Amino acid sequence: MTINKVTVLGAGTMGAQLAALFVNAGLKVKLLDIVVDKNDPNLIAKKSYDKLQIRNGRYYST
């Protein structure tokens, strides 16, 4: 089996470096990242935090 296409999820530090590595190896690369709200760049983190519940001093996902 030969791999000739790669999709990298997340264009942060590691994702961008992996994408560059694959391109340099001659692979076709698709790099996907989230769309950040320009008015509130921390909105994704805030929504995730709001979904957490604190019970007995610990965080639980809802």
Write out pLDDT tens, residues 3-38.
999 999 999 899 999 999 999 999 999 999 987 777
User: What are the tokens at 46?
Assistant: 């805030």
Which residue is listed with tokens 């990298």? 8
The pTM of this model reads 0.60
Identify the band that residue 62 occupies on the pLDDT scale cut at 50, 70 and 90: low
Report the DSSP pairing between strands 5-9 and 28-32.
parallel
**Where exactly are the structural domains of the chain?**
5-61
